[in-house]
Amino acid sequence: MDKFLIKGPSILKGEVLISGSKNAALPILASTLLFDKPVVIDNLPRVRDINTMLSLLKSLGSKIEFFNNRKKVRISKSKKPKHFASYSLLKTMRAGNLVLGPLVAKNFKSITSFPGGCVLNGNSGRPIDLHLNALEKIGMKYEIKKGYIYAKSKGKLKGKSLKFSTISVGATQHLIMSSVLSNGKTILKNCAIEPEVKDLTNFLKSAGAKIKWVGKRTCQIIGVNSLNEINYSVMGDRIETGTFCVAATLTRGNLLIKGFDPKLIQTELDLLKKTGAMIKLFNDQIHIKGPKKIKKISHIKTKEYGGFPTDCQPQFMVLMCKANGRSEITENIFKSRFMHAMELQRLGAKISIKNSKATIEGNTNFIGAEVMSSDLRASAALILAAIAAKGTSIVSRIYHCDRGYENIEKKLKKVGAKIRRVN
């Protein structure tokens, strides 16, 4: 099993090109099941979750053609589409469940395994009840047998007005996709409005879907009979951008980050300015210099988009370990997303956890140690801490990292990190 061997501390300087967004690409790929005509999707990140989703689409009968070093794909419909999504493909990836709704919307039936991915909600996992309940309201019937969801509909799904009980990115994306070919008008209230959700709606609208945002969190979809052939480029990765912004701030670095619209991470950039980072913004670039001394942020609270993202919480925890005093982080999205704290303690961090709040003492001098990733974003946090640490660190279980970061060690090495992949 691969590991990262990292020698620190390092000061990161140079240019970083941001990859396409995994979290935007996955629902876009799932939605290709709705099309009769070919679809070309560009700027795909070369990460494990994307490869898994493409394998899943292939198993469902889609024809996949690769271009531009696998960053661009042409997906066309098979004459014999299938409707069985196996556990072997969905066990490692949360987004695999997003094929369920499009399969029912297009083929009126689906047999789909419960998904896997990072476990971030303790013993409850990451349930998809919200998805299933909403899909049921627009005409899908289902039963659960032996870990599989057997779903079907009598013809087209039917437009309806419904309100999500909880703001959910996945459920919002799932219902938007599933409503595109429905009969009538669907109105979804209390939607997630993350940029990745908007990228999905932009993609579908470009193909002829009738989707309109009405107010801040309400999405209206009027069903169409079919979708048009389309070429589309996926947005840049918001979380990768945030990770490299933290890396520059943490290491007193100087990075020019290219290929991402800075307006989409304004909350994160405002917080980094409070730590002392010097930031200049351009149309699709961020120039960021880290301070000599990192100032604390007294309290960070994760929140749905518009607020601070949970996917950047572990990286900011590392930053607060190096800051000049005590800080607190409250995790409001995923209650078990503090597993990285124990591993940071192995590097010398002083962190205490009580319920959904972490207290970080600050002024940590990280010392190299062997640590283990617990999930995708935790792996990024541990890599950052190891880069800032004195001595050698080994980060294991980096398959988590490979799910969401494209060639992270190559990008880090290019800007001065002493990192290599070992068995």
Taking the C-alpha atoms of residue 222 and residue 220, their distance in angstroms, rounded to an integer, is 7
The answer to whether the beta carbons of residues 157 and 140 sit under 8 Å apart is yes
Helix (H, G, I), strand (E, B) or coil at 318: helix
Give catalytic status of residue 401 as yes or no.
no
Q: Phi and psi of 34, rounded to 5°?
A: -80, -15
The radius of gyration computed from the CA coordinates of the chain, to the nearest angstrom, equals 21
One of 118, 245, 312, 321 is an active-site residue; which one? 118
Q: DSSP assignment, residue 310?
A: G
Q: Taking the CB of residue 98, how many other CB atoms lie within 10 A of it?
A: 29
The answer to whether the beta carbons of residues 113 and 83 sit under 8 Å apart is no
Give every CB contact of residue 259 below 8 A, 6+ residues apart in sequence: 17, 18, 19, 236, 284, 285
Helix intervals (H) in 252-406: 266-274, 313-322, 339-346, 376-388, 399-402
Side-chain half-sphere CA neighbours of 344 within 13 A: 34
Strand order of the β-sheet with 148-152 is 84-85, 109-113, 148-152, 141-145
Placement of tokens 């210099």 in the chain: 289
The answer to whether the beta carbons of residues 189 and 217 sit under 8 Å apart is yes
Our CA dihedral for 244, 250, 252, 253, rounded to 10 degrees, sits at: -10
Q: Taking the CB of residue 163, how many other CB atoms lie within 10 A of it?
A: 12
Placement of tokens 């979708």 in the chain: 227
Tokens of 91: 């066990």
Give whole-number Cα distances, 125 to 70, 178, 186, 336, 403, in Å.
32, 24, 29, 10, 18
| Residues annotated as part of the active site | 118
